[in-house]
Structure 1
Amino acid sequence: MRLAIGDVVRDRTDMVIGTVARIDMNEAGRVVLTVPGGFPRLVAVADLEIVSRYSKPPTAKLHLAAVLVFLIALLTSYIAAHSVQLLGGSWLLTFMAGLGAYEIYSIGFRWCCRLTGPRRFRV
């Protein structure tokens, strides 16, 4: 299981929901949860069930980067599809060239967001 600070988890023993406050790895494999009321609680990793993941809200810079990547991807897609069409390619080849050019930027942006996102620890 991969956990990050701030993930919401459920303790299977008594069905209490809490957020991960600290990850202590020792021989017992315990995780410190903050349960409602602000009380810390030690829970075994085997007794945890993930309810939801923590994610940072997107910033204005990330929105701007997403829009720029989208516009660059559309421009590149148009250029690739138009070039294939001018070279005499069929409609399928034209479509695939445009789709491939768009997906290069789309996949790159998703991987960049994933690599710079919150760290997860294997417990």
Structure 2
Amino acid sequence: MYLGIGDVVRDRADMAVGIVVGVTSRATGNRVAVYVSGDAVRLSELYDLDLLARHARQISTGRRVLALVVLVLSVLAAFYGCLSAHALGAGWLLMFLSGLGGFTAVLTAYQWCGHLTGPRRFRV
């Protein structure tokens, strides 16, 4: 299971809901540090936890603008791919696939950058 700092989990032992604050390493195995109500931190085994929600930050204005720019660039890449295939005398199917390839290439590069700069998840 992949967990991140700030994920909301529930301990099956007593159904306590808490927030993941870290992972500790012990001789018996890894344990997850969970912040529960009452200003307490408890160490729980991984098999005792249920993931309830992932921590997600709101998107900043700069990232929204970047997403819009990438969307416009991907549409332009699709248009250019269709136009280039048409200029070479391709049929409608090859034009469509060329446009889809250009659109997908730009969006995939954007998604990879998002995964590299996004919140870290650690394997427990």
Q: What TM-score range do you get, normalising by the shorter chain? A: over 0.9
Gaps of 5+ in 2: none
Shift of 1:51: 1.1
Does the residue aligned with 2:5 lie in a helix, a strand or coil?
coil
State whether structure 2 residue 107 is matched by structure 1 residue 100: no
State whether structure 2 residue 85 is matched by structure 1 residue 84: yes
TM-score, length of structure 1 as denominator length: 0.93
Separation of aligned partners in 2, 1:78 and 1:37: 58
Superposition pairs of residues 62-81 of structure 1, within 5 angstroms = 62-81=63-82
Q: CA RMSD in A?
A: 1.2
Shift of 1:39: 2.1
Separation of aligned partners in 2, 1:110 and 1:37: 39
Separation of aligned partners in 2, 1:37 and 1:107: 44
Question: How many pairs are equivalent?
Answer: 123
Superposition misfits of 4+ residues, deviation over 4 angstroms: none
Gaps of 5+ in 1: none
1:20 is matched with: 20
2:32 is matched with: 31
Q: Percent identity?
A: 38
